[in-house]
Amino acid sequence: MISIRNLCIELGDFVLRDACLDIEDREYMVIVGPSGSGKTVLLESIAGLYPVKRGEVWLRGCDATVLKPEHRHVSIVYQDYSLFTHISAEKNILFGMRMRGMEKDEMKKSLDKMVDLFNISHLLSRKPSTLSGGEQQKIALARALCVSPDVLLLDEPLSSLDPGTREDIEQELRNLHRELTVTILHVTHNFEEAIALGDRIAVIGGGKIMQVGTPEDIFRRPNSEFVARFAMARNIFYGRVVLSDRGDHMFKTGDSCFLIEKGRKGDRMVIRPEDIMVYPFNDGKNNNGKNCFPGTINRINDKGSTLFVDVDIGIPVTALVTRHACRESGLRTGMRVKISCDPGSLHIFQE
Amino acid sequence: MGEYNRIKRTFEVSDKKRRQSIRGFYLTNEWLKWLFFILSLLILIFISLPVFKMIYSSSPSILLNSFLDPEVTKSILLTLYSALIATLIGFLLGVPLAYLMAKTDFPGKKLVEGLIDLPIVIPHSAAGIALLFIFGRKYLLGRIMNSLGITFLDSLAGIVIAMLFVSVPFLIDSAREGFEKVDPRLENVARTLGATHFQTFVHVSFPLAWRSIIAGMIMMWARGMSEFGAVIIIAYHPMIAPVLVYEKFETYGLNYARPIAVILIIISMTVFVVLRFLLYRKDK
């Protein structure tokens, strides 16, 4: 288990503030955040590459705060794979074992295991500069894993790949995690990647860990406006919870009131765009539904298979519709429409 | 620094890298292109004409006679190996300094940077006099070394320290640039894989900066070989080739100095071309 307790790191103007994070053995944890949020610094400080100003890093139940990187049993794989360009792929893989003074037989056995796992026997004699991105990644992963680390740290491993390759490598990472039962700490700025891979996700922003939870928690129940925006919730409203004349719990924002589930408290409401339905105004459906509001389409933002539809209902809301649904309903800019959303899909929180 | 940059470019930037550096931007203005071309031609002629004229106008038989003259051969060999000794000392002491400058921050770093380049900016005859004040028999280090049997005045040791003083900045600056170019993430990876700091230096940083270090050593050696001002102050004898050229010129005139100068130029150029070829071939 990795335990980070109130960790503070100062690097010039950047400060990682009071980071707290517990990662279970064999867990796939993804740290996600925008550029410059401190996610790589957090990763590298777990590897012991920065002096700690305050706080503690515990690895395998031992205080490793001042332990040197070579004694931590963690391996790191960077975005550009950082292979040693002056030696062959095979020597890259053997590097860690040589540095740890392992026996030749042991090294050979470990190398063979990695060669089988990644199917890289044909790449061993080649220099890294002659390998493709995918091949370099395999060598980098093999190099990191053949020293049997307790934790594998991955710094944006998919960000330089095209979308097709990215999906393949995502699947490979999942398989790798399952087969090797290694703890993985994966850093990315891509929220979808985090959702796809993480057992749990930590969202980091401005040097601070904002929320830690399952993908469902982060996606459905963000605890702050920052996390909600990062999770692409788009519809974030300021207001307050009120009781209607009939005793219903409502979230009042501007002149609009949304019916919400009982017991919800807070001054922010989040509605995910995919939870908002959009209908032509006169189609006769759902006229009496809860949280049904008339409005006008202000803009349609085409994203290919899906479209973001901005609707003015007195307040601006954004709905996500499929291309098929958009065509079926004949949605277009300036059209009068109705929107509706289920009270259960509205998330209320206190900033 | 201009001289440093010129020689550095000769060695360090391969044609391939030079081609990459202009990728995406081409000089398309014909007028500007011609203007720059003519100006470039002028400076290239200015650099090459005196050298090639001197080589061209020397008779091969006189050159051969001069080359076989034991005094000339001895002084050229002395120049080559004293510059080599200076380079090796520069390597031993300069590379660690270059690594520190590239990989650490410390108070007064800017001051140290200035100090490293000091020998480049001060007149070399003044550098020779400054060295005399330290290594002269009556002065601090000179007295200590004299008691150990090492004298600097008019000796190989004197030539070496003069060459070392004026040329070591070339090695330090080039090696520093080489270490700076080593991606810190490579060093981080090495550390997490189990390498100590020293092992990371030996197995990652040094091999990756090796080409810049070699380029710096060649520059240092070449610069040491051509040193005159500092050496003549501290060690007129034994005579290195540049001093011999000067002495022949002063005593017998231009015709006697020229063959030795030509031999020196040919040797220097051969060394430059061969080493550049080796570096370029490796780069490909």
What is the distance in angstroms between the Cα of B205 and the nearest Cα belonging to chain A? 10
pLDDT at A287: 54
Query: Dihedral of the CA atoms A25, A29, A35, A36 (nearest 10)?
Result: -30
Alpha helices in chain B (DSSP H): 2-12, 15-21, 30-56, 60-68, 70-103, 109-121, 124-135, 140-147, 156-181, 184-192, 197-200, 206-225, 229-234, 241-251, 254-283
Does A84 sit within 8 Å of B208, measured CB to CB? yes
Same domain (yes/no): A307, A281 = yes
Chain B contact set for A82 (CB, 8 A): 183, 185-186, 188-189
> If 0-12 CB within 10 Å is exposed, 13-18 middle and 19+ buried, where does residue B183 land?
middle
CATH number of the domain bearing residue A335: 2.40.50.100
Distance separating alpha carbons of residues A162 and A68, to the nearest angstrom: 36
Which residues of chain A have a CB within 8 Å of the CB of B192? 47-49, 69-70, 72, 74-76, 149, 153
> Which of A45, A70, A92 should we substitute to test contact with B (largest number of B Cβ atoms within 10 Å)?
A70
Whether A76 and B192 lie within 8 Å, measured CB to CB = yes
Give the integer Cα–Cα distance in Å for A227 and A77: 26
Asked if A296 and A311 count as a contact pair (C-beta separation under 8 A), the reply is: yes
Task: Judge if A241 and A310 occupy the same domain.
Answer: yes
| Residue B20 forms contact with A (CB below 8 Å) | no
Q: What is the full per-residue pLDDT of chain B (284 aa) written as tens digits?
A: 455 555 455 444 444 444 455 556 777 788 999 999 999 999 999 999 988 888 888 888 888 888 889 999 999 999 999 999 999 999 999 999 999 999 999 999 999 999 999 999 999 999 999 999 999 888 878 888 888 888 898 999 999 999 999 999 999 999 999 999 999 999 999 999 999 999 999 999 999 999 899 989 998 999 999 999 999 999 999 999 999 999 999 998 888 888 888 988 888 888 878 877 877 665 54
Query: With an 8 Å Cβ cutoff, are B193 and A72 in contact?
Result: no
Q: A210 with A343, same domain?
A: no
Identify the domain containing residue A14 by its residue range: 2-230
Q: Are residues A171 and A52 in the same domain?
A: yes
CATH number for position A15: 3.40.50.300
Domain tally, chain A: 2
Question: What is the SS3 assignment for A36?
Answer: coil
Question: Does residue B189 sit at the A interface (CB-CB below 8 Å)?
Answer: yes
Cα–Cα distance for residue pair A212/A33, rounded to 1 Å: 12
Asked whether residue A206 falls in the same domain as residue A328, the answer is no
Boundary-marking domain end, from A204, A230, A256: A230
Give residue B15's pLDDT.
Answer: 47
Q: Are residues A219 and A242 in the same domain?
A: no
Q: How many CB atoms lie within 10 A of CB A280?
A: 15
End-to-end CA distance of chain A: 31
* Torsion region of B5: left, alpha or beta (phi above 0 gives left; psi -120 to 50 gives alpha): alpha
Same domain for A278 and A156, yes or no, is: no
Adjacency order of strands within the sheet including A292-302: A276-280, A336-341, A292-302, A306-312, A316-322
**pLDDT of A339 above 80:** yes
Global confidence as pTM: 0.83
Residues 6+ apart with CB under 8 A from A250: A241, A242, A243, A244, A257, A258, A259, A260
Tell me which long-range contacts A218-224 makes (C-beta under 8 A, separation of at least 24). A218/A194, A219/A195, A219/A272, A220/A272, A220/A347, A221/A347, A221/A349, A222/A270, A222/A347, A222/A349, A223/A349, A224/A349, A224/A351
Of A141-145, A282-286, A343-347, the least confident: A282-286
Whether residue A33 contacts residue A204, with contact meaning beta carbons closer than 8 Å, is answered with yes
Q: Does B251 touch chain A (CB under 8 A)?
A: no
Partner residue facing B194 (CB), from A82, A84, A100? A100
Boundary (domain end) residue, out of A196, A230, A264: A230
Single residue among A205, A230, A255 that ends a domain in this structure: A230
B191, A144: Cβ pair inside 8 Å? Answer: no
Residues A49 and A134 grouped into a single domain: yes
Distance (Å, whole) CA A279 – CA A325: 10
Listing DSSP states for A268-297 in one string gives EEEE-GGGEEEEETTS-SSTT-TTEEEEEE
The number of residues in chain A equals: 351
Q: Say whether both A270 and A151 belong to one domain.
A: no
Instruction: Inform me whether the pLDDT recorded for A17 exceeds 50.
Output: yes
